[in-house]
Amino acid sequence: MKKNIPLNERIIFALDVSTHDEAMELVQKLESHIKFFKVGLQLFMSNHFKTIDEIIKRGNKVMVDLKFFDIPETVKLAVNQLKNRGVSFATIHGNDAIIKAATADKSAMKILAVTVLTSFDKSDLEQMGMSGTVEDLVLMRARKALKIGADGVVCSALETKPIRDDLPIQEGQKFLIINPGIRPGHNIQNNDDDQKRIATAQQAIINGADYVVIGRPIRNSEDPIKLIKNIQQEIQTGLDKKL
């Protein structure tokens, strides 16, 4: 089943800046080609709902990426603060009880469970005393998220195909997968990147991602709109190859 997602919503632009004014300058510059924006912890702490409300008022979508992790009742109450503001996606960490609490009363907002941060690799898991591979852990968490009622997961493109192959066909078709750690093809081997499990947008879409999250490569580009068009072409090529 092909999801009916407009091309200008496939890229979720990460507003990883410190102030409302910086964020809105980027939104105004990019919204002719991108209609989905991510507000993370840094920006949210500077102005709370001000940026979120203004982005939505301008006719765009927002992913609130605060990765809620707390006792279930607190997470449930935090989700309640978001659900009636027009937010499209919200992210959570957590165990079964946290996912269940977050999805209990979310209205039309979709809850995404973070599997393993893209800044982690096997050595990080070993330092935490965890055995097995990153892929094993991602698959386990994705299965749980689907079973408990999350609308999708956040994972790297490297684990996306195994998740798609593993999920039951009927349920897996509507399950959303969002990939951060996306880099333009010419920049995929950037050794200065703090993201360890990275891929191109085309690879992510072919593997089964629905959305890709991109921030710095676009923000730091000399010609952001040209780069966006190039990445959207990558995405379209990936979609065409899946047909």
The predicted model gives 95-124 an average pLDDT of 82
Q: Kindly report the CATH number assigned to the domain that includes residue 162.
A: 3.20.20.70
pLDDT top residue among 183 and 235: 235
Q: Which domain holds residue 120?
A: 7-242
**Residue of 29, 67, 161, 196 marked catalytic:** 67
Q: List phi, psi (to 5°) of 4.
A: -90, 75
Q: What percent of the chain has pLDDT over 70?
A: 83
The predicted model gives 220-230 an average pLDDT of 95
Asked, for residue 2, whether it belongs to a domain, the answer is no
pTM greater than the 0.75 cutoff: yes
Asked, for residue 26, whether it belongs to a domain, the answer is yes
- Per-residue confidence (pLDDT) for residue 191, from 0 to 100: 47
The predicted model gives 192-210 an average pLDDT of 79
Report the interhelical angle of 72-83 vs 96-103 (nearest 10°). 30
Asked, for residue 21, whether it belongs to a domain, the answer is yes
- At 39-76, the pLDDT tens digits run 999 999 999 899 999 999 999 999 999 999 999 999 99
pLDDT top residue among 184 and 15: 15
H-helix segments, the chain: 7-10, 20-30, 41-47, 49-57, 72-83, 96-103, 122-127, 134-148, 157-166, 169-174, 201-207, 216-219, 224-242
* Average pLDDT in the chain: 87
Asked, for residue 105, whether it belongs to a domain, the answer is yes
* Residue 229 among the catalytic residues: no
Tally the domains of the chain. Answer: 1
pLDDT top residue among 146 and 39: 39
Cβ atoms of 148 and 103 closer than 8 Å:
yes
- Per-residue confidence (pLDDT) for residue 118, from 0 to 100: 60
Asked, for residue 1, whether it belongs to a domain, the answer is no
d(CA 220, CA 232): 17
Whether residue 184 is predicted with pLDDT greater than 70 in this model: the reply is yes
